[in-house]
Amino acid sequence: MTHRSRWVSAGLTVIIILGIGYGWRTAHYNSHFLSDTQIGGIQVGGQTAEQAAQTLKTKLANQSYTIEDHSKPLTRFTSREAGVKAYSSSQLKQMIAKQNSFSWPAHSVSASADDEQLSASAMNNSDLTALADQIVQKAAGTQRTATHNATLVYKDHRFMVQKPVYGTEVSVSSVKAALTKAIATHQSTINLSQAYVKPTVLANNKTLAHAKDQAEKLVKNRITYRITNHSVRVPSDTIGSWLTTSNGRISASNTKIKQYLTKLSYQYGTIHKTRHFKAHDGRMVKVPAGLYGWSIKVSAETPILSKAVLAGKPITRTPVIQGMGYHKDGSDLGSTYIEVSKPAQHMWVHKNGKIIISTPVVTGKPVSGTTPSGVWDVWSKQRNAVLRGKNDDGSNYASPVSYWMPIDNTGVGIHDSPWQPRYGGNWYLTHGSHGCVNTPPSVVGKVYAAVPLHTAVVIY
């Protein structure tokens, strides 16, 4: 054999040996992790799935983490408390199957390791949620700045975009996200700032810019209320103060609209107002509020007005009204009502603007049975009723009447009183009723027939 032949033979032998060694190592890494592999920062290189599972279980059981807030420890927890669980052997075998076993020479000399991060699937969600909740509660012990999205504000008769606020508040979801990332990348110290809730709508948000353009048009809309004989236009600045944005989209504040309608109802409504009543003789009498009167039904009108504001179309409407006595001409009591004067011990029935009945009466005996002053309402009409109650001495009474017209919510009403021998004058001071308006039997039937339900009763 020549010298050259010997060298060729030796070279082939080396190549065969290297090939066998390469193949053996390649086959080895079909069932073992490559030499520099880490999982969650834990070295498992060269280990089988079963060996790596045990290594992870041992290491993860004792892993400790610290949460820092403003450079000071806020709390500490272990991987066990965070619900971190080691991968199973079958999961680790799947990881080994995915690695490129033919690349083992590069991994033998490389300084950088393949790091399989611990994914969320390797953590117990309920444990992680409970831990996040505990951290949020601990963080609440220190003063925190709320995070706010960029939003529209109405100021000086125009809209402007208010920049977002990057606060220091945290939430369970934001803390969970920060914990998951930190554990996956094996950070043993976690700064709470990583969990600060971030604004989701920034000043350059296109939806917010569109909302600004829309809001500027909405404030110019004409919304007018017809309330009795008044015309009330909702001011542009008032509409502007109602408009706001949520996630960059425009909306109207029902709370502010409700406040506006409540003030409007108080201004024009009559249910809670003392009235200046023109008596039968032309005198002006001050009469306190009673059951009779009307107001804006704010709960029903609020969503209607909110919808009108966002629609941006001119509208004139009468608000939803509740109660009695609403008249478009603002006349309040109307032309049909009952007038009772306690000092005069007299009752007048006004029908379509004319007095059709004038009769003496007996009102409540002072002080316990005083008939309440106010503007009341004939809310029911009954024939042949029995009135029951207690006398001044505490004994019970049951008085049958032919005509019964309750007017308030305490049992006071208008009815016949055959037991009264006389009416008018000072008789009520010693023989007055328990509060009702006692009416002569010869007259009460006419009163009953003349007044419809919900007729106003003015007592002063």
Which residues are designated catalytic?
A: 415, 436
Query: Which two structure tokens, joined as six digits, stand for 222?
Result: 């004409």
Single-letter amino acid code for the residue at 425:
G
Beta strands in 100-197 (DSSP E): 115-116, 151-155, 158-162, 189-191
**Residue 202 · residue 150 · CB < 8 Å:** yes
Do 413 and 407 contact (CB within 8 A), yes or no? yes
Query: From CA 299, how far away is CA 11, in angstroms rounded?
Result: 97
Q: Give which of 384, 440, 432, 441 is closest to 412, Cα–Cα.
A: 432
- Supply the DSSP symbol for 145: P
Tokens found for residue 241: 């103060």
**Three-state helix/strand/coil letters over 399-420:** EEEEEEEECCCCCCEEEECCCC
- What is the enclosing helix (H) or strand (E) of 183? helix 172-184
Burial 169-199 (b: 16+ CB within 10 A, else e): bbbbebbbebbbebbbebbeebbbebbbbeb
